[in-house]
A = this chain, B = another copy of it.
Amino acid sequence: MVKRIVVIGSGAAGLTAASAAKRVDPEAEVTVITEDEYIAYSPCVIPWVLDGRITWDDIIMHDASYYSKERDINVLTRTKVTNADANSRTVTASGKVYGYDSLIIATGGTVFIPPVSGIGLKNVFTVRRLNDGKKIEKAMKDSKKVVIAGGGVIGLEMALSMRNNGKDVTVVEMLDQVIPRIADKDMAGVAQDHLSAYGVKFALNAPLRSINGTDSVKSITAGDETYECDMVILATGVRANLEIPKMLDLDIGILGGVSVSQSMRPYRNGKEVENIFAAGDVVQCESAVATGPTMSQLGSTAVKQGIVAGKNAGGGNSVSGTVASPWVSVIGNIHIAGTGLSENLAAWYGIRTISGKAKGYTKARYYPGGKELMVKIVANADTQTMIGAQLIAGEDATGRINWLTEAVVNRTKAEDFLARAENAYCPPTSMVRDVVISAAEDLCRNLKKVIQ
């Protein structure tokens, strides 16, 4: 019998899952159902489209007909799933009933809308889907003053994009630093200073209280101040879309995502459900560094989980390990990156930390064109394992944060990392001793408070 696999959602997790399922079981009948108009694009690139580096057409890799012709996958766009039933193993979309043998939930997340007045005013935008970007692009033409609500990575990338378009830009953030939670204040401060040099203004400790105006937005109030503006972009975090999981009575975890096992299967009343899978921004999964769950909500994680969910839906036996969620953002001339827990976030989990830091360059000290590089590594003070890292560099942050992630996901003790880690060296590409290793040495010193 031909296996029927239904995928709900056409983001990174959904489409990757569909393709992976088809590779494992080429005979399977795979159907992707999505409300979206555009599929197979990278929402992460919207800031760079808006500042003119790339076109919308460039970032849309495939359309539904590509999936149909090239991969024998049926993608239904602009189609809303209105019901999902685990007993009859069916989903209903646009009035039609689809039976499934395996169901993959990749419904992603939606921008959290703060509970303030004025959200519905003209020129108040979220930034999540391609059409959000197109709306901003259109409104940008007549805009002079933009407020970005939320100083996370997306907020900062959008702030610089708007600044590069000549706008007057203010970022309002309710906490006392930018990139809260995933970065520590010492590192985030460098990113903030860098953006300030571009002319972006910041209001910290300034929770959004209201968006003001009658038809179109005229100002916002954040903290005790009011900021004039003619456009607001909400970069206020993402919440999982739980409508479908709730219809299927799946367990929702304490972080607000669908709890999944390492095979990407959800739970119902604490028991793993065999023929349903969930992947991407809708799930919470086992943390590599803390006892308990974590929510990744990154495109890279969505792809990784989508592959595992798809393989297993197709009859495979694949697992996705615990999650450290490495991230990187390019903000002007710096790359800021992190993995695992910041000291901030570790404190939230109740974990005592000790950190080490080092500064240096991306090339040999004397080699022309080298960029500054700053690395911080965070260890659990009790177990002495590396639980996170952050770095800021003028270039080449990504490979280094992946390197540190490998140590974090393997729960490596700091002294073992220092003893074993090696770095490749060539004057045009690194210092003879990479700054990552120097930071590990500082960490070990701080852990032991004796030089040895």
Contacts and interface: CB of A to CB of B under 8 A. Distances in A.
Contact of A425 (B300, B368, B409, B432): B300
B24 A432 contact: no
B368 A54 contact: yes
A80 interface: no
Q: Find the residue from A300, A303, A311 having the highest chain B CB count within 10 A.
A: A300
B303 A433 contact: yes
Nearest to A420: B321
A433 B304 contact: yes
Given A24-B452, A328-B429, A335-B429, A424 B368 contact: no
Given A300-B433, A301-B422, A406 B403 contact: yes
Given A322-B420, A368-B54, A427 B44 contact: yes
This chain: copies in complex: 2
Interface string A281-325: 000000010000000001111011001000100001111111111
Nearest to A410: B410
A428 interface: yes
B422 A326 contact: yes
Contacts of A228: none
A387 interface: no
Given A53-B368, A366-B61, A328 B12 contact: no
A398 B319 CA distance: 28
A323 B452 CA distance: 20
A304 B300 CA distance: 33
Contacts of A434: 300, 398, 402
Contact of A432 (B42, B316, B397, B403): B42
Contacts of A339: 422, 424
B328 A44 contact: no
A401 B436 CA distance: 13
A119 interface: no
A93 interface: no
Contacts of A304: 422, 433, 437
Nearest to A434: B402
Nearest to A326: B424
A51 B304 CA distance: 44
Interface of A: 12, 23-24, 42, 44-45, 48, 53-54, 58-59, 61, 262, 288, 298-301, 303-304, 307, 311, 316-330, 335, 337, 339, 364-368, 395-403, 405-407, 409-410, 412, 416, 419-430, 432-434, 436-437, 441, 451-452
18 contacts: A23-B451, A53-B368, A321-B421, A322-B420, A326-B422, A326-B423, A328-B426, A330-B429, A335-B426, A396-B398, A396-B399, A399-B402, A402-B421, A402-B422, A405-B423, A406-B421, A409-B421, A410-B412
Closest 5 pairs between A and B when the two form their complex, measured CB to CB: A399-B399, A321-B420, A300-B425, A326-B424, A328-B424
